[in-house]
Structure 1
Amino acid sequence: MWADNETSEDLLGFKVHADLLIDVINDKNILPITIGVFGDWGSGKSSVLQIIKNEFESDENKESLCIYFNGWTFEGYDDAKAALLNSILKEIDGNKKLSAEVKDIVKNKAKKLWKSIDWMRGAGMLLKNVALPAVSAYFTGGISLIPYAIQKISEWSDDPQKIIEKLQSDEGKKLYESFLKESKDESEKQINAVAEFRNDFSELLESTNFKRLIVIVDDLDRCTPERIIENLEAIKLFLNVPKTAFIIGADPRIVKHAIEHKYKNNKEIEEDNNRIVIDYLEKLIQLPYSLPRLSDSEVETYISMLVCKKELEETQFNKVLDGFKQFREKNKYSSFGLSNFESILSADDFQKVKSNIITIPSLVPLITSSLYGNPRQIKRFLNTYTIRKRLAKVASIENFQDAILAKLMILEYSEPKLFKQLFIWQADKEGTPEEISEIEGICKDKDLNKLLTELADSKFKDWNRPKIINWLQVEPSLQSVDLRDYFWIARDKLNDSISASSLIPPIVKSLFNELQPDQMTSTVTRKIIEDKFKELNDAEKETFFNLLSATLKRNPISKRNYEIFNELIELKIENAPYHYIESLKVINDLDIDASIGLRLKNYKSHPNMGDFLSDYFKDKKSKAAKAFNLK
């Protein structure tokens, strides 16, 4: 099994990306700079950041101070600026590269910085926890509250309703006038405070004699939208301080969602929301660097290296790792696999690795496309593959073929609907379905374009996609193979795909949560789906469907998740009818509100849902059934 953790051990060949960013940071003419290392969830961002961290923390690199800051770890802190400054000062204090004398100087200079942070922190907490809820409910225009005003309001009461009543009195009106009078002066004070903070921090950094400070901010995309913005605002506080480099690792889609969330109640800004998001990111991040998805050869190499790491002793694996590094320096395009291992390992070790690698080269492109070249998903695929191989061995299953297991798992992961259809076919025919033999026969040795036309007019129209046709054509063939044992070991996944059992990508969580408010209109729901659902890749869409379905099954009384499904159907989102039907199959119609039954009535003639719904609500006395069957 493989742990799902970031690592500085480069099995992906990603050191080239880390080396490039290190080279940029080492150029004193470029600092200060903020770099965004962008990529999807599980794409290897954290591993690249770990390689950078290790390089700057090495004893040879005495002129640099590198600090690793995990935004998600500090999710519970009340103030991101304080958490970030605390991490920096703590790292400086404990750094072995500094003398005790320098550390004393740093401590003295840090006192003034802490006073600045405490001022901002205290004002922010009062604003957030006491004054803001009340004032935002009373004032329509919104103003910048100064510390004096916050303190005055908090003296009245900690009950927002009582504060509003006070604000409506003569005393409140006078205080409001004083807010307006003093807010302009206070804003200037805050601007000056930030400039003073940056100067003080620059002096502190100068006293350490480091040539550069590198702050790595990881896992930003796991935070809530509010926390993401707080972390970004904290980073902005340190921007333009000489000799600094901030490296932010995140899924850019999540960051964009957070910025949109920040401005969602400002109608003037919402009209040009896309421009605001772009401007915000461009001002914050001078160098965006997107990690590429793994190619077929890189996926083959990664799988081979993971198996080596699991099967070999550390000393032997290090030989393979050294060989890989040397190979990559000369050849960045070819795969590094079994043919390379044979010259490095002993016969016994080589055989041990060989017997555990998916040795079907033709399956690699399918794994790549199904898992989107995503290292985390590849690890999880291999973990499931390994567990099932062990189960087959423990259960003493005869004539078990690893390649067939791998091929079926690819279909299970990328097309759970078709995987379930194949399960039904084989269950009806004692493991050897005629349908798979028929469709493989149709696809054998034929041109892709001809097949797309032929299958479109056949009973296999659901299989009519290039990726599925490639899956059908690749060896090993499933014709005449008894599939019962393979589905027996996969029985735990017949209700959920592998992606559903994995951790949910932040981009999927973010979209799901954004769609959850009960009072959201149909128009807004559709706009979010059109703008954001369609930008997900197929694996993320499948995970979203599984999450939506699981939530609906857990709480069938709530109307909101039916409404989301309905909008997905209206927008003709692929696979939405299938997942909706699968959810309804396990829901008692007594739990469904009448308004949902009335809405479902619109789908009586739907090509995928009509027959199911008519049968589902047939002869039933529930409110939903009566609404559905209204004439």
Structure 2
Amino acid sequence: MWADNETSEDLLGFKVHADLLIDIIKDESVLPITIGVFGDWGSGKSSILQIVKDEFDKEEDKDSLCIYFNGWTFEGYDDAKAALLNSILKELEDNKKISAEIKETIKEKAKKLWKSVDWMRGAGMVMKNIALPAVSAYFTGGVSLVPFAIQKLSELGDNPEKIIGKLQSKEGQETFKAFFKSQEEDKKTINAVAEFRKDFSELLEATNFKRLVVIIDDLDRCSPERIIENLEAIKLFVNVSKTAFVIGADPRIVKYAIEHKYKNDKEIEEDNSRIVIDYLEKLIQLPYSLPRLSESEVETYISMLICKKEIGNEKFKIVIEAFQKYRLKNKYSAFGLSEFESILDADDFSKVKDNVITIPALVPLITNSLYGNPRQIKRFLNTFTVRKRLAEVASLTGFKDSVLAKMMILEYSEPKLFKKLFDWQIVQDGIPKEIGEIESICEEKEIEKISEDLNDSDFKEWNKPKVIKWFQIEPFLSEIDLRDYYWIARDKLENSITSGSMIPPVVKSLFGQLLPDEMPAAVTKDILSNSFQQLNNIEKEAFFNLLSSNIKRNPQQKRLYDIFTIMLEEKIDNTAQYYIEALKVINISNIEPAVALRLSNFKSDPIIGDFLINYFQGGKSPASRSFNLKK
């Protein structure tokens, strides 16, 4: 098994990215700078940042101080600026590179910095916890702060006279004065920020370091509000000489957070994309996007993971050294069995070979199915290993690892087809004739011809380039009894591997965006068009599973049906299949008549129509009556 943690051990050849970042940061002419290391969830951002930190932490580097700040760890702090400053000052106090005399100087200078942060922190809490609740309470008759009240307040505009006219009360006058006073406080805040930067620059001068490197990781795991607070905290340090901030995040999550920040500003919402771009460009001078792994990199990564597991950490050190030398000369070829043979003794090589031998042929499918994502690859291998062990413990005879790997690729990338194959084999003693028929169609022809033949057959749903490639790669399955392979995967037949995995933050964020009950259909469609369609297939699958599991647990929550129905209206691929699976386990009595009435528009839909007609047929529930109303 492989741990799903960041590591400075480079099995991906990603050190080249870390070295580039280090080289940029060490160029004094570019400081101060803020660098955004962008990539999908699980793409290797944290490991690259760990390599950067380890390089700057070396004792021989007397010119650099590097601080690692996990935005997610500080989710519970009331103020991100205080959390960030606390991390920096604590590191300065504890750092072995700094003498005791200089540490005393730092402590003295830090007192003034804390006063600035405490003032800004207090001003923010007053505005957040006193001014806004007071105004919203006016609109809601004393009810605590709610989104409706904030929306009402924003509709009054920014003209003080209008606000007074609307409030029309002594309480309104007092509230206005509080807001007017806050404008004066804003001026003080601007001065406090400038003063803070000056004081912080002086503190850095006292340390004698040439550069302060602050790494901020896991920003995309935070709530939208916390992401913005962390970004605003970073802005506090922007333009302070000798500093480099390196931020690791999925840019889509950050985009959602910025949109969330301005969601009640109508003027900004009209040009939403521009405000997001402007915000990021002002904060991040150098965006650096990580590429997805190529096929050779995926083969190398899998081979290295297996090699380490088989021979142990100590022996693996020589493999890592050889890999690093190899990458200096050859950045494009896979580092695998042929290289291991020249490094390892015969026994160790034999163990590694037995486990790696089936991998190269499957690499193109693994790469495409898992989108070159290191975390997904590692979790795929963990599941593969568990199932291999289960087969051994259960003493399954004739069990082939290569068949298991091939079946898991279908399960991971096409769970609906995986379930279809299960349905075929269960009534044919494990050897479905359909597999042989499709394999015959897919052999030794141009892809265009194969596609035409599948369209003219009973297997239209299998007509996908990735699936065709799956059929063409050995081992072929037409004579294989699949019952054992489905037996060890039986816990996943309902939900597939992806739904049992941790949900990507970008999916959680999108789901949260779509949940508000009062959201207009037009806004929902816009979010689906701009955000859902940008997800890769694994993330889309995770979104459908999240939506399905929520609707099964909360069958009376109308908003969940609305999301599904709007996705049907927008003709989003696979929506009908997931909606059908969810409705099968939901009691009709839990469905509101309005939901059923809207679903009646899909009676003639080729995928979901017949199911809906049978589902609502002859029922006496309000939902059934609504569905069957004559229009």
TM bucket normalised to smaller: over 0.9
**CA–CA separation in structure 2 for the residues paired with 1:517 and 1:175:** 29
Deviation at 1:585, TM superposition (A): 0.9
1:534-545 matched pairs, under 5 angstroms: 534-545=533-544
Code of the aligned partner of 1:476? P
Give the drift of 1:523.
1.2
Q: CA deviation at 1:611?
A: 1.1
SS at match of 2:34: strand
CA distance in 2, matches of 1:144, 1:325: 63
1:151 equivalent in structure 2: none
Deviates more, 1:105-114 or 1:589-598: 589-598
Match of 1:468 in 2: 467
Shift of 1:420: 0.3
Q: 1:174 to 1:482 in 2, by over 3 A?
A: closer
Q: Which residue of 1 aligns with 2:150?
A: none
Check if 1:284 corresponds to 2:287: no
User: 1:422 Cα deviation (Å)?
Assistant: 0.4
How far did 1:131 drift?
2.2
Q: Deviations over 1:514-555 (max 9, x none)?
A: 000111121111111111100000110000000000000001
| 3-state secondary structure, aligned to 1:356 | helix
Q: What are the superposed Cα offsets for residues 559-606 of structure 1, whole Å, 9 maximum, x if unpaired?
A: 111111101111111111000001111111121111111111111111
Check the 8 A contact 1:144/1:183 in 2, yes or no.
no
Q: Hey, what's the Cα distance between the residues in 1 that align with 2:351 and 2:197?
A: 57
C-alpha contact (below 8 Å) 1:300/1:364 kept by paired residues: yes
Work out the percentage of aligned pairs sharing the same amino acid: 69
Q: Which moved more, 1:591-600 or 1:370-379?
A: 591-600
Distance 2:473 2:245 in 1: 46
* Aligned residue in 2 for 1:615: 614
**Residues 507 and 542, structure 2, Cα contact 8 Å, conserved in 1:** yes
**Aligned equivalents of 1:179 and 1:571: distance in 2?**
44
Residue 60 of structure 2 is matched in structure 1 by 60
- Write out aligned runs for 1:310-459 (5 A): 310-357=309-356, 359-459=358-458
1:275-323 deviations in Å (ceiling 9; x for gaps): 1111110110000000000000000000011111211122211111111
Q: How far apart, CA to CA, are the structure 1 residues paired with 2:311 and 2:361?
A: 26
Are the equivalent residues in 1 in contact too, given 2:131–2:178 (CA < 8 A)?
A: no
Change (3 A) 1:122 1:358: farther
* 8 Å CA contact 2:131, 2:175 repeated in 1: no
Q: CA–CA distance in 1 between the matches of 2:619 and 2:137?
A: 47
Deviation at 1:622, TM superposition (A): 1.6
For 1:417, the aligned partner's letter is K
Distance (Å, rounded) in 2 between the aligned partners of 1:203 and 1:568: 56
Partner residue, 1:494: 493
Distance in 2 (CA, whole Å) between partners of 1:547 and 1:188 is 46
Secondary structure at the aligned position of 2:203 is classed as helix
Gaps of 5+ in 1: 146-163
Q: How many residues align?
A: 611
1:324-373 per-position Cα deviation (integer Å, ceiling 9, x unaligned):
11111110000001111111111111111112225242210000000000
Q: Distance in 2 between matches of 1:477 and 1:314?
A: 36
Question: How far apart are the structure 1 equivalents of 2:175 and 2:80?
Answer: 30
Residues 627 and 144 of structure 1, relative CA distance in 2, 3 Å threshold: closer
Deviations 1:235-261 (A, max 9, x none): 000000000000000000110111111
The residue number in structure 2 matching 1:275 is 274
Give the aligned partner of residue 147 of structure 2.
none
The answer on 1:90 being equivalent to 2:94 is no
- Identify the residue that residue 579 of structure 1 maps to in structure 2: 578
Question: How far apart, in 2, do the equivalents of 1:175 and 1:252 lie?
Answer: 38
Give the C-alpha shift of residue 167 in structure 1.
7.2
Q: Which runs of 5+ in 2 are unaligned?
A: 139-152
Partner SS state of residue 213, structure 2? strand
Alignment CA distance shift 1:426-1:31 (3 Å): same
Question: 1:80 & 1:462 partners in 2: Cα distance?
Answer: 50
The one-letter code of the counterpart of 2:309 is: K
Partner of 2:29: 29
Instruction: Give the stretch that moved more between structures: 339-348 or 308-317.
Output: 308-317
- Tell me, in whole angstroms, the C-alpha distance in 1 between the residues paired with 2:182 and 2:609: 61
Q: CA deviation at 1:186?
A: 3.3
Cα distance change on mapping 1:600 and 1:358 into 2, 3 Å = farther
Q: Spell out, residue by residue over 1:197-220, the C-alpha distance to the aligned partner (whole angstroms, 9 max, x if none).
A: 000000001000000000000000
Task: State the 1:185 CA deviation.
Answer: 4.0
Q: Does 1:530 align with 2:529?
A: yes
Name the SS of the counterpart of 2:67 in structure 1.
strand
1:431-490 deviations in whole A, cap 9, x for unaligned?
000101001001111100111122122211101111111111111100111000000000
Match of 2:48 in 1: 48
Alpha carbons of structure 1 residues 302 and 19: separation in structure 2 relative to 1, 3 Å? same
1:109 shift after superposition: 0.3
User: Is it true that 1:132 corresponds to 2:132 in the alignment?
Assistant: yes
Post-superposition Cα deviations, 1:100-141, rounded to whole Å, max 9, x if no partner, equal 110000000000000001011112122222322222565554
Q: CA deviation at 1:619?
A: 2.2
Match of 1:59, SS state, is coil
For residues 139-288 of structure 1, the aligned pairs below 5 Å read: 139-140=153-154, 141=156, 169-170=169-170, 172-173=172-173, 176-177=176-177, 179-180=179-180, 182-288=181-287
Q: Work out the CA distance in 1 between the residues paired with 2:178 and 2:4.
A: 56
Are residues 183 and 584 of structure 1, via their aligned partners in 2, closer, same or farther at CA, if it must alter by over 3 Å? closer
1:119 — aligned with what?
119
Counterparts of 2:49 and 2:179, CA distance in 1: 45
CA distance in structure 1 between the partners assigned to 2:285 and 2:4 by the alignment? 31
Query: Which piece of structure 1 moves more, 495-504 or 204-213?
Result: 495-504
Within 2, Cα distance between the matches of 1:178 and 1:600?
A: 50
SS at match of 1:378: helix
Give CA deviations for 1:486-518 in whole Å, capped at 9, x if unaligned.
Answer: 000000000111111111101000000100011
Q: Provide closer, same or farther for how the CA distance between residues 518 and 178 of structure 1 changes in structure 2, counting only shifts above 3 A.
A: closer
Answer with 203-212 or 518-527: which moved more: 518-527
- Please give the alpha-carbon distance, in whole angstroms, between the structure 2 residues aligned to 1:593 and 1:409: 39
Match of 1:553 in 2: 552
Q: How many angstroms does 1:144 deviate by?
A: 12
Does structure 1 retain, via aligned residues, the 8 Å contact 2:296–2:334? yes
Shift of 1:35: 0.2
- Output the amino acid matched with 1:296: E
TM-score for both structures, normalised by structure 2: 0.95
SS at match of 2:194: helix
- Once residues 174 and 461 of structure 1 are traced to their aligned partners in structure 2, the CA distance between those partners, rounded to angstroms, is 69
Instruction: Report if the CA contact (8 A) 1:577-1:608 is conserved.
Output: yes
State the distance in 2 between where 1:168 and 1:243 align. Answer: 52
Tell whether the 8 Å contact from 2:404 to 2:485 is kept in structure 1 after alignment: yes
Q: Is the 8 A contact 1:144 1:187 kept in 2?
A: no
1:176 & 1:605 partners in 2: Cα distance?
58
Distance in 1 (CA, whole Å) between partners of 2:332 and 2:304 is: 16
Deviates more, 1:382-391 or 1:445-454: 445-454
Instruction: Give the distance between the partners of 1:18 and 1:124, measured in 2 at CA.
Output: 37
SS in 1 for 2:95: coil
**1:444 & 1:281 partners in 2: Cα distance?**
50
Distance 1:360 1:9, change over 3 A: closer
